[in-house]
Amino acid sequence: MTTRPYDPLPAPGDIVYCRFPEAIGVPGPKPRPALVTDVVEFPDGTKGVRVAYGTTKRVTELLAGEFSIRTSDAAAWRMAGLSYDTKFDLGRRQDLPYTDEWFRVPPSPRHGQTPKLGTVHPGIMRRIEAAYRAVAGSEPDKRTRN
């Protein structure tokens, strides 16, 4: 199967529709929101993105390194392009090629035919910074956890 890259790359703070891996090197079975935390370059010179895992489960139970964007955040939730309350785990990040193997155009694309759902609202930055500080000094988690 040939993979097709998306262009342009998203920026840190963008939220994308991602088949986040459940096992190393294997795209997950369904797309989910993921937060772009960095643009990366692979050894072969191609570029990709580092994304943090997003889930709609247990959004009120935040662990160290997690933050949520909820419908009660009104403007931030709309700007993020989310369909449901979602939490992101900065302790669970992966470097992935920005291709159709790992990312999908969402069912209701607001940003054209790209995987971008939306962008983090500036009002959420304190939550992200607190979550990042909770995992700072540790390497991005390359494993999966349930």
pTM of this structure? 0.89
pLDDT of res. 57? 95
pLDDT of res. 23? 86
Stretches in the chain below the pLDDT threshold 50: 141-146
- How many separate domains does the chain show? 1
* CA–CA dist 21, 78 (Å, integer): 26
Task: Determine the structural domain holding residue 50 and report its residue range.
Answer: 14-135
Residue 106 domain flag? yes
* CA–CA dist 137, 133 (Å, integer): 8
- In three-state secondary structure terms, 79 is helix
pLDDT of res. 40? 95
Residue 125 domain flag? yes
